[in-house]
C-alpha cells in the first residue's frame, strides 16, 4: 500500500511548509510556503550557506540597506524553490506592515519585480499577507493587478469570508495555533481529532466556501500532528512541515478523504464590513488573541533574520 503521503496527494495539493531545499527534494510537494523564521532556519543549513553568502556579498557591494537585503534573500530562496517545485512559492511581507495598505501593496509589487528580474513569472508566486482588515484590502488591490495572494493568520470564519469576498486567491487558516489556545483555555492536554477545535475551524471554513461557491482556495496550515493533517484530507491544499511529511511518508496505513467538494449548504454571509470584521475579532477571543500574537511573533522572526544578516555583513567587512 502506498504511504499516507502518497494517498494524500490524491485528495489535496501537498505544500511544504519550509525553505529547506533537501526536504523539498525528498518529499516532492507541489508548492511550498516560507516565512522569515523558515528562511532563517534554512539559511543556517550547509546546503544554503553559499546562496546566503552570495546574496549578502552582492547586496553589500551594491550598498543595499538591510531591509533590501532581506527582500533579496527571500526572493533568491523563492527562485531556488521554484526550481524544486512545479507550483507556487509563497513569499511573506513583514508583519509590521500589516496595518498599512499602501506599504503592503508597495512591498508586494517590489517583491514581484525582483522575481521577474530573476525570470520567475508572477504566476509562480503568492504574496503572503496577514489577514488583517488592511491586509485584505491590500490583497484586493494586488489581485486586480494579477498578483496572487496568500492570506495567512486566519483564525475565524469572518476573516476567511472577508478574504473570499475580496477575491483573494488563497487563505491559510491555522489549525495548531487554534488547538493550542483551546488546550490552554480549557486545561486540556489533547482532543480526539474530530473534536479538535483547530481541525473543526478549517472544516467549517471549507464547508462554507464550497457551499457558497467561493473561488478562494483553502489551505490548512500550522499542524501539530499527522493526525490533524489526515483529518483534513480533501482540503484544497495542506501546508505541512518536513517532520510531519516524514511521518506521513513512513505510515503505510489507509488514508480516507475527509473533505469533499459536495458539502452541506451553510447560510450565506452578507458583506463583511470593516466594523463587523473588527468586532468579530473582539467577540472571538481566540481569533483576536492569536492574530495579534501571530503578527508579533512573525515580526520577531523577521527581526531575528535581520540581525543574522547584519552580523554576516559585519563579518564580511572585518574580513575585507
pLDDT band at residue 272 using 50, 70 and 90 as cut-offs: very high
- pLDDT attached to residue 263: 66
pLDDT band at residue 262 using 50, 70 and 90 as cut-offs: low
The residue with greater pLDDT, 160 or 309, is 160
Q: At what angle are helices 274-283 and 285-319 packed, to 10 degrees?
A: 100
DSSP-assigned letters across all residues of 223-284: -SSHHHHHHTTTSSEEEE-HHHHHHHHH--S-------SS-----------HHHHHHHHHHS
Alpha helices (runs of H) in the chain, residue ranges in sequence order: 4-11, 21-27, 36-43, 46-61, 66-82, 101-117, 133-144, 157-165, 176-186, 197-212, 226-231, 242-250, 274-283, 285-319
Q: Is the confidence at residue 320, as pLDDT, over 70?
A: no
Burial of 246 (0-12, 13-18, 19+ CB in 10 A): middle
Query: Pick from 261, 174, 173, 175: which is nearest to 215 by CA?
Result: 261
Q: Are 212 and 179 in contact (CB under 8 A)?
A: no
Q: Are 91 and 125 in contact (CB under 8 A)?
A: yes
- pLDDT attached to residue 269: 81
The Cα–Cα gap between 315 and 319 comes to: 6
Q: Are 48 and 42 in contact (CB under 8 A)?
A: yes
Q: Could you give the C-alpha distances from 108 to 16, 91, 113, in angstroms and in order?
A: 22, 9, 9
Largest Cα–Cα distance of the chain, in whole Å?
66
- pLDDT attached to residue 46: 85
To which residue does cell 503592503 refer? 104
When pLDDT is averaged across residues 82-107 and rounded to a whole number, the result is 97
Q: Is the confidence at residue 181, as pLDDT, over 60?
A: yes
Q: Is the confidence at residue 200, as pLDDT, over 60?
A: yes
Q: What are the chain's domains?
A: 4-315 (3.20.20.70)
Q: Is the confidence at residue 282, as pLDDT, over 70?
A: yes
- pLDDT attached to residue 240: 98
State whether residue 297 is helix, strand or coil. helix
pLDDT band at residue 274 using 50, 70 and 90 as cut-offs: very high
Mean pLDDT of the chain: 94
Q: Is the confidence at residue 319, as pLDDT, over 50?
A: no
Q: Is the confidence at residue 299, as pLDDT, over 70?
A: yes
- pLDDT attached to residue 316: 64
State whether residue 72 is helix, strand or coil. helix
- pLDDT attached to residue 48: 86
State whether residue 99 is helix, strand or coil. coil
Q: Is the confidence at residue 317, as pLDDT, over 80?
A: no
64-82 in b/e burial notation, b at 16+ Cβ within 10 A?
Answer: beeeebbbbbbbbbbbbbb
Q: Is the confidence at residue 222, as pLDDT, over 50?
A: yes
pTM of the model: 0.95
When pLDDT is averaged across residues 108-117 and rounded to a whole number, the result is 98
Active site residues: 128
Query: Pick from 225, 237, 224: which is nearest to 177 by CA?
Result: 224
- In this structure, the number of other CB atoms found within 10 A of the CB of residue 294 comes to 21
For residue 89, the cross-strand partners are 32, 125
Amino acid at each position: 500500500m502506498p504511504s499516507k503521503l502518497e494517498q494524500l496527494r490524491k485528495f489535496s495539493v501537498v505544500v511544504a511548509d519550509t525553505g529547506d531545499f533537501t526536504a523539498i527534494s525528498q518529499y516532492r510537494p507541489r508548492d511550498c510556503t516560507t516565512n522569515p523564521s523558515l528562511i532563517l532556519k534554512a539559511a543556517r543549513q550547509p546546503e544554503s550557506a553559499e546562496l546566503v553568502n552570495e546574496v549578502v556579498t552582492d547586496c553589500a557591494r551594491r550598498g543595499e540597506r538591510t531591509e533590501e537585503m532581506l527582500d533579496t534573500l527571500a526572493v533568491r530562496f523563492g527562485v531556488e524553490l521554484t526550481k524544486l517545485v512545479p507550483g507556487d512559492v509563497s513569499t511573506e511581507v513583514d508583519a509590521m506592515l500589516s496595518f498599512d495598505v499602501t506599504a503592503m501593496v508597495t512591498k508586494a509589487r517590489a517583491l514581484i519585480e525582483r522575481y521577474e528580474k530573476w525570470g520567475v513569472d508572477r504566476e509562480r508566486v503568492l504574496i503572503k499577507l496577514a489577514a488583517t482588515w488592511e491586509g485584505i484590502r491590500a490583497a484586493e488591490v494586488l489581485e486586480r493587478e494579477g498578483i496572487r495572494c496568500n492570506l495567512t493568520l486566519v483564525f475565524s470564519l469572518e476573516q476567511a469570508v472577508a478574504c473570499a469576498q475580496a477575491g483573494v486567491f488563497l487563505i491559510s487558516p491555522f489549525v495548531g495555533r487554534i488547538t493550542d489556545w483551546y488546550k490552554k483555555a480549557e486545561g486540556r492536554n489533547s482532543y480526539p481529532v474530530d473534536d479538535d477545535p483547530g481541525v473543526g475551524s478549517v472544516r467549517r471554513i471549507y464547508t462554507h466556501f464550497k457551499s457558497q461557491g467561493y473561488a478562494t482556495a483553502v489551505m490548512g496550515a500550522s499542524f501539530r500532528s499527522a493526525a490533524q493533517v489526515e483529518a483534513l484530507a480533501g482540503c484544497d491544499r495542506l501546508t505541512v512541515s518536513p517532520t510531519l511529511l516524514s511521518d506521513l511518508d513512513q505510515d503505510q496505513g489507509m488514508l480516507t478523504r475527509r473533505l469533499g467538494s459536495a458539502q452541506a449548504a451553510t447560510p450565506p454571509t452578507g458583506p463583511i464590513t470593516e466594523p463587523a470584521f473588527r468586532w468579530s475579532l473582539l467577540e472571538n477571543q481566540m481569533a483576536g488573541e492569536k492574530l495579534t500574537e501571530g503578527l508579533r511573533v512573525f515580526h520577531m522572526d523577521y527581526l531575528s533574520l535581520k540581525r543574522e544578516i547584519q552580523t554576516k555583513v559585519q563579518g564580511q567587512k572585518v574580513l575585507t
